[in-house]
Amino acid sequence: MQTNFNLTLTKQSDNKNILINLLSQLIDFRIKIIVTINLLIALFVMNYTTTLYAESAFAKFKLGELDFYCIQDAPGEMNNAIFAGTDSEILKKHTQNGKSPSSISTFVIKHNKKSILIDTGNGNQLLENLAAAGIKTDEITDILLTHTHPDHVSGLFNRTKPNFPNAAIWITANELTFWKTSNNALVEKTIKAYGELKIIIPDEKTSIVLPEIIAIDTIGHTPGHVTFLVSSKGQKLFIAGDLLHSSSLQFPHPEISSRYDNDPKQAANIRKKLLTRTVNEKWIFVSAHIPFPGFIHLEKDGEGFKIIPIKLLP
């Protein structure tokens, strides 16, 4: 009797262990299924986001009464070599694999019958992305040049043909002089295709094309580098041109200049001054080389600045 009882207990214990093992396997299997499903969802979202990003190389939002667009000409990176002489520990802290994320971006302001393009990039994907944004090249009425380095003016032409046949070109007098000394052939080609260039007066008072746009003198990167402040209905947006080349490095360390700066010391001084104004006056900040789409606010952070992401209504 005792033996039978013991045997029964043993059989019940075995069954219990078998049941526990089965349940454990089922739970493991269920977990694996859940993990697999979650991984598939994550991969789908990542791929969808990447595709959406790649197919949407323009961004649009409303600045007061103005339509404002960021049009990416090309994604890219800035090599640390352009910051030669910078402390290696600072570079290591603020960049990855010897590079920092960047972009070549242009901007469009539309209001009433005016469509104003700020810079033209290298002409890589500019026309394609303008078209994606619903902007026709022949509707561009004005082109404002922050300066005349190739990655800001090369999009003016498709070989010999002007890309924006109905546009007037605007430039500061100092930058025009600089352009003539650096590439007079392109200056003459531009005048022949677009007509006499119009002169920007960067005195922060004289409007350019629209009453909402004024120019700020920011020489240093080039002898005639200029930036633009756009205001509408209490909102203000600062188009910074090449005030900086690496947001990950030069926001925390605005004293660092790149080898592209014609006058590194002057470029650093004006960069600190304008970044401080951006914070104090609560401007929206955009520039050619902030990773796309690059609409940001800034906040003071020690001796430097940090990015505050913002969401803008389309």
74-103 tens-digit pLDDT: 998 999 999 999 999 999 999 999 999 999
Is the CB of residue 72 less than 8 Å from the CB of residue 261?
no
Predicted TM-score of the model (pTM):
0.82
Q: Which stretches of the chain score pLDDT less than 70?
A: 1-56, 312-314
Q: What pLDDT is attached to residue 29?
A: 46
Q: Select from 200, 147, 153 the least CA-distant residue to 175.
A: 147
Q: Select from 227, 225, 247 the least CA-distant residue to 236.
A: 227
Is the N-terminal amide bond of 254 cis, ω within 30° of 0?
no
